[in-house]
């Protein structure tokens, strides 16, 4: 009993020791947990900071790509003008000259960038907040002193030239240590010599009256010049003569194998139901009147018609074939539902304005053309056909409608819109620090 009494209090000691051990372990676990939370939070902050720096790289590169893309489109016209001026001054278009143009382009692009807000003379290129509560933002700093074009000064024939420079993007989050990424921006461009070509041009001559000279050695027409056809209709068949008064042909039937001069104008009141064939009509209109080919003209074939003054062709049912028409004034083709239909192996020249509202363009052949020195009224789609207007596109008009003969030296340079290429997708080279 005495031995047992000596062991009193041992249970309390054991309980106290157990409590102490668990307390120590609990504190250790709590400490480890707190430390882990801090480490996780620090890792998350580091990731957010790096993400902020990466966002800076992506954002800045988008701005750079847009800037250089816009600038090269602007400088394109300047280089094009430079090439054209050199051609006029008889500067040969050699490979070395292409390299020189590319170098000049590189200099212009670098100069434009150096004076832009994207490349400040001092300090930060740009800074942008990402998340205000966590104070997350990025800054672009420490750009290269100036972009370089390392290939522009080489004598080797490069496939492409390139402009390059480096910069740094700093990410910030919750006043933690910043993270820095270094980016390298590369922009490539080139001039394609094969898209710059020399071509012949005709000497400029738009005196279309020379196409149909006034007939000579024709006798005055008598009233008997009107032959009687079927049903009392008027027929010009193998008639060569000249009228000196305004003529109204009341019931025209046909004009065949004839040379007719109308010095005071003519109007065909009703339809020429057999058309005009193998004939020449030289018409000098009276001021204030219009030479009128009324209603249906059933075809104009192998003929020449010159009208000095205004003219209207209301309807040509069977079309115009192998013929030339010159109007030294304004012209109207068609009248409402009546249309000029079919034009092939023929040319129409109008020195004034032309109303083409009522033309059936679907039947126009590529062997035909209409040249108008003035303006054209009609659907905008008419320029999809062989129709040329000096007021719409003078270069095309001169090319297609000049009567001049090409001489030695009548050349120009043709620079297509595809003569310059550049990289539109730019992938930065990024290194993490």
Q: How far apart are CA 314 and CA 335, in angstroms?
A: 5
The 10s digit of each residue's pLDDT in 258-278 is 999 998 888 887 777 788 899
User: Which pLDDT tens digit goes with each residue over 340-367?
Assistant: 777 888 999 999 999 888 777 667 777 8
Locate 329 and state its tokens.
Answer: 């004034």
Pairing of strands 300-301, 276-277: parallel
Write out pLDDT tens, residues 196-238.
988 877 777 888 999 999 998 888 987 655 655 555 678 888 8
What span, in angstroms and rounded, lies between the C-alpha atoms of 188 and 124?
Answer: 25
Q: Which pLDDT value is given to residue 333?
A: 83
> Which of helix, strand or coil describes residue 252?
strand
Asked if 220 and 237 touch (Cβ cutoff 8 Å), the reply is no
Q: Please state whether the predicted TM-score (pTM) of the whole model is above 0.75.
A: no
Helix axes 10-88, 95-114, angle to 10 degrees: 130
Check residue 155 and give its pLDDT: 61
For residue 317, give the H/E element and its range. Answer: none
- Spatial separation of the C-alpha atoms in residues 388 and 398, rounded to whole Å: 9
Residue in this structure with the two tokens 């539109």, named with its chain if needed: 424
Cα three-residue angle 82-87-93, rounded to 5 degrees: 90
Task: Enumerate the β-bridge partners of residue 327.
Answer: 307, 350
Is the pLDDT confidence value at 327 over 90? yes
- Is it the case that residue 315 has pLDDT exceeding 80? no
Average pLDDT over residues 299-311: 90
Structure tokens at 175: 């006043």
* Tokens representing residue 370 in the block: 């209409």
Helix (H) or strand (E) holding 248: strand 247-249
pLDDT band at 407 (very low <50, low <70, confident <90, very high): low
Report the first-to-last Cα separation within the chain, whole angstroms: 78
Whether 140 and 167 have beta carbons less than 8 Å apart is answered as yes
234/271 Cα distance (integer angstroms): 11
Tracing tokens 């062709």 back to the chain, one arrives at 313
Q: What would the pLDDT profile of 130-174 be if each residue is shown by its tens digit?
A: 888 888 889 998 888 888 888 887 665 667 888 988 888 898 888
Evaluate if residue 303 carries a pLDDT over 80. yes
How many Å apart are CA 372 and CA 284, to the nearest integer? 19
Reference 369, options 255, 100, 174, 354; nearest CA is 354
pLDDT per position as a tens digit, 76-105: 889 998 998 998 888 998 988 999 999 999
Give 31's pLDDT tier (boundaries 50, 70, 90).
Answer: low
CA dist 31 and 25 (Å) reads 10
What residues contact 219, with CB distance under 8 A and at least 6 apart?
240, 241, 242
Of the two residues 251 and 70, the one the predictor is more confident about is 70
Per DSSP, the three-state class of 100 is: helix
Residues forming beta bridges with residue 188, ordered by sequence position: 162
CA distances from 268 to 240, 280, 316, 337 (A): 18, 15, 13, 19
What residues form DSSP beta bridges with 243?
262
Q: How many CB atoms lie within 10 A of CB 213?
A: 11
**Rounded distance, CA 165 to CA 314, Å?**
68
Angstrom distance (rounded) from CA 34 to CA 337: 91
Which pLDDT band holds residue 40 (cuts at 50, 70, 90)? very low
Cβ atoms of 412 and 202 within 8 Å: the answer is no
Q: Strand 387-389: give its sheet, edge to edge.
A: 219-220, 240-243, 259-262, 280-284, 304-308, 324-328, 347-350, 369-372, 387-389
Domain ranges of the chain: 36-196+423-432, 208-405
Pairwise CA distance, residues 279 & 276, whole Å: 7
- List the one residue out of 300, 294, 291 whose CA is nearest residue 329: 291
């Amino acid at each position: 009993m005495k031995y047992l009494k000596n062991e009193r209090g041992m249970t309390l000691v054991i309980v106290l020791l157990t409590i102490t051990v668990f307390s120590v372990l609990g504190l250790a676990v709590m400490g480890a947990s707190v430390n882990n939370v801090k480490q996780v939070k620090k890792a998350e902050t580091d990731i957010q900071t790096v993400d902020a720096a990466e966002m800076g790289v992506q954002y800045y590169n988008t701005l750079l790509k847009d800037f250089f893309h816009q600038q090269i489109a602007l400088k394109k016209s300047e280089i094009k003008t430079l090439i054209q001026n050199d051609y006029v001054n008889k500067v040969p278009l050699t490979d070395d000259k292409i390299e020189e143009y590319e170098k000049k382009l590189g200099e212009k692009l670098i100069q434009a960038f150096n004076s832009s807000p994207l490349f400040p003379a001092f300090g930060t290129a740009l800074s942008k907040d990402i998340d205000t509560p966590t104070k997350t933002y990025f800054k672009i700093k420490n750009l290269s002193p100036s972009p370089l074009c390392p290939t522009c000064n080489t004598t080797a024939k490069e496939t492409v030239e390139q402009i390059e420079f480096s910069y740094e993007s700093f990410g910030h989050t919750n006043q933690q240590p910043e993270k820095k990424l270094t980016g390298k921006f590369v922009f490539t461009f080139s001039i394609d010599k094969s898209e710059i070509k020399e071509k012949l041009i005709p000497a400029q001559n738009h005196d279309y009256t020379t196409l149909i000279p006034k007939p000579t050695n024709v006798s005055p027409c008598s009233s008997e010049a009107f032959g009687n056809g079927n049903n009392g209709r008027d027929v010009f068949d193998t008639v060569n003569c000249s009228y000196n008064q305004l003529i109204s042909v009341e019931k025209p039937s046909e004009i065949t194998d004839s040379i007719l001069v109308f010095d005071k104008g003519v109007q065909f009141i009703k339809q020429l139901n057999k058309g005009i064939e193998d004939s020449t009509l030289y018409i000098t209109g009276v001021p204030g009147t219009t030479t009128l080919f009324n209603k249906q003209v059933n075809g104009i074939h192998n003929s020449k018609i010159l009208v000095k003054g205004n003219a209207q062709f209301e309807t040509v049912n069977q079309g115009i074939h192998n013929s030339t028409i010159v109007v030294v004034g304004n012209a109207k083709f068609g009248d409402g539902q009546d249309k000029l239909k079919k034009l092939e192996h023929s040319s129409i020249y109008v020195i004034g304005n032309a109303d083409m509202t009522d033309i059936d363009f679907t039947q126009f052949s590529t062997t035909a053309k209409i040249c108008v020195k003035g303006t054209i009224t009609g659907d905008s789609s008419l320029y999809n056909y062989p129709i040329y207007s000096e007021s719409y596109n003078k270069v095309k008009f001169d090319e297609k409608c000049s009567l001049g003969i090409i001489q030695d030296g009548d050349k120009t340079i043709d620079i297509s819109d595809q003569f310059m290429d550049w990289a539109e997708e730019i992938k930065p080279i990024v290194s993490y620090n």
